């Protein structure tokens, strides 16, 4: 269940600045910081070395802006020039990634409890927290089957689709659904049925759990329960199971919910990542 430090670094950057969700304040200084994080978020664990053109494409920023930001980030040792002329991560960013690894790692007992949940149900168990208009996986234990839902620690998914996303919105407060819809981009709004989303969030708030079939992608289902409600100080946290829809029959979903509730109760005692406390 242990993630690579670089993926923990991605989680740290996503939590510090949620610029793509429109939550960043206006102003020259803040905008510069936001754009610097957009450059940094162009890098991934699979693509730690990028050309300037690739950074421009991934960040969506003008080339001249990217070049200025690269110079600044290289000077701050957040990035560095690779031998082939491309750009890669610097020593200071690696230091931040190591910090994020410690801040976001779940306690050993929590990791073991999630492993037991995955073995008991046969489905991938994931712990999610809300970050702007996305849910972020902060812990994960894979299904023992070869055909399974694949998610890695640090993965981000839209908050507008899926059982865990719906429940995170429901656990974030009574006005969360409207706030999410108001903050979503035009492209995101085009891909979602707003009334259906409102209804799903209302049902999740009432039932204290959520179930979805093919909401995020065809053939994939999910079930989720609340670990902790969100407030002004701490984000909501949910525990979910994901897997092939063929295995999420009505009978098995009932069993999954029972197993999830028991595991969520245990997780409230074994603890969450330090960054969530």
Low-confidence ranges of the chain (pLDDT < 50): 1-28
What are the tokens at 262? Answer: 């028991």
CA of residue 102 relative to chain centroid, distance: 17
The pTM assigned to this predicted structure is 0.74
Q: What is the pLDDT of residue 16?
A: 39
Q: What is the pLDDT of residue 13?
A: 47
Q: What is the pLDDT of residue 131?
A: 84
Q: How many CB atoms lie within 10 A of CB 197?
A: 22
> CA angle 98-42-240, nearest 5°?
65
Q: What is the pLDDT of residue 29?
A: 55
Q: Are 143 and 173 in contact (CB under 8 A)?
A: no
CA distance 78 to 96: 9
In sequence order, the β-bridge partners of residue 137 are: 128
Q: Where are the alpha helices (DSSP H) in 155-249?
A: 163-170, 176-183, 186-190, 194-207
Look at residues 242, 262, 265, 256 and name the one whose alpha carbon lies nearest to residue 164.
242
């Amino acid at each position: 269940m242990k993630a690579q430090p670089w993926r923990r670094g991605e989680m740290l950057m996503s939590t510090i600045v949620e610029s793509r969700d429109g939550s960043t304040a206006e102003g020259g200084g803040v905008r510069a910081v936001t754009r610097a994080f957009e450059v940094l978020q162009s890098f991934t664990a699979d693509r730690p070395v990028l050309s300037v053109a690739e950074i421009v494409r991934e960040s969506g920023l003008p080339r001249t802006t990217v070049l200025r930001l690269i110079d600044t980030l290289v000077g701050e040792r957040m990035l560095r020039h690779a031998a082939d002329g491309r750009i890669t991560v610097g020593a200071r960013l690696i230091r931040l990634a190591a910090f994020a690894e410690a801040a976001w790692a779940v306690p050993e007992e929590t990791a073991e409890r999630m492993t037991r949940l995955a073995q008991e149900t046969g489905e991938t168990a994931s712990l999610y927290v809300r970050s702007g208009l996305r849910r972020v996986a902060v812990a994960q234990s894979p299904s023992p089957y070869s055909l399974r839902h694949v998610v890695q620690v640090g993965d981000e998914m839209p908050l507008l689709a899926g059982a865990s996303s719906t429940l995170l919105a429901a656990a974030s407060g009574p006005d969360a659904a409207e706030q999410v819809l108001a903050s979503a981009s035009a492209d995101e709004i085009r891909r979602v049925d707003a009334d259906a989303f409102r209804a799903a969030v209302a049902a999740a708030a009432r039932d204290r759990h959520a179930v979805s079939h093919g909401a995020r992608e065809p053939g994939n289902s999910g079930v989720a329960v609340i670990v902790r409600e969100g407030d002004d100080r701490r984000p909501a946290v949910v525990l979910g199971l994901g897997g092939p829809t063929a295995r999420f029959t009505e009978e098995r979903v009932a069993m999954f919910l029972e197993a999830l509730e028991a595991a969520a109760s245990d997780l409230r005692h074994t603890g969450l990542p330090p960054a969530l406390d």
